[in-house]
């Protein structure tokens, strides 16, 4: 009997932690692609033109929201149309619609008490859910404006080593469910996934990443078999 693989989607009763587990590693992967392109260049945001530039590189943007350091508060752009205009908040409005549909307060509440790391997790989930290519935070007079970027200029690096290191870094540095994160990252990248009782396998061409798990879903080991070497 053929087993139908379950797609990675947002489901009813998903918590934000589950959503971050599903979509965060892919977002980190995307951010590394952006970093490879722009290097150490700092972003210059032009809201009137709806662009951000890094030296000679220019991207059109969508505004996701902004963080106020003095009051430690995240504000969604969808609640600030009078500031940004409706054209620049379309992606933010999509996130609100998802929050309304699945009762995810983090996406559907206009303002959130947050720290700076919370802003990054909101942006990370957003770029993966909306199939954007990256996000960037621009400091502007006491606030950080988070923008979403979609551009063919950002090329993917799909090396086996990057996949392994990205997953390891993600599950180590974020409060997520590692077992769910590995399955989701593998499937969202379009790779083959095979689960077992205490380990799972990502099939990347002829190569393999094998991750062992405890009964609680924590990682015991990560092995890499690169057939191209």
Q: Does residue 228 surpass a pLDDT of 80?
A: no
Q: Residue 173: helix, strand or coil by DSSP?
A: helix
Kindly give the residue spans of alpha helices, DSSP state H, lying in the chain. Answer: 16-38, 81-84, 90-102, 105-108, 116-129, 160-173, 178-188
Q: pLDDT digit string (tens) for 110-128?
A: 999 999 999 999 999 999 9
**Contacting residues for 46 by C-beta, under 8 A, at least 6 apart:** 52, 53
Contact 205, 227 (CB under 8 A): yes
| pLDDT, tens only, 187-202 | 999 999 999 889 999 9
């Amino acid at each position: 009997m053929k087993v139908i693989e379950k797609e990675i989607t947002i489901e009813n009763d998903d918590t934000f932690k589950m959503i971050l587990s599903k979509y965060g590693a892919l977002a980190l992967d995307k951010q590394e692609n952006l970093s490879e392109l722009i290097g150490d260049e700092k972003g210059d945001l032009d809201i009137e033109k709806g662009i951000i530039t890094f030296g000679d590189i220019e991207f059109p943007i969508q505004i996701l929201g902004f963080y106020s350091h003095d009051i430690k508060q995240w504000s969604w752009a969808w609640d600030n149309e009078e500031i940004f205009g409706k054209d620049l908040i379309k992606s933010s409005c999509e996130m609100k619609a998802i929050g309304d549909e699945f009762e995810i307060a983090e996406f559907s509440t206009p303002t959130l008490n947050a720290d700076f790391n919370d802003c990054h997790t909101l942006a990370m989930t957003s770029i993966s859910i909306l199939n954007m290519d990256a996000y960037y935070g621009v400091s502007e007079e006491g606030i950080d404006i988070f923008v979403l970027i979609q551009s063919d200029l950002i090329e993917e690096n799909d090396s086996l080593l990057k996949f392994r290191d990205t997953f390891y870094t993600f599950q180590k540095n974020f409060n997520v469910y590692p077992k769910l994160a590995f399955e989701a990252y593998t499937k969202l990248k379009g790779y083959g996934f095979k689960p077992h009782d205490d380990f799972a396998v990502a099939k990347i061409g002829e190569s393999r990443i094998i991750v062992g798990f405890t009964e609680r879903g924590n990682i015991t080991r990560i092995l890499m078999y690169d057939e191209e070497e």
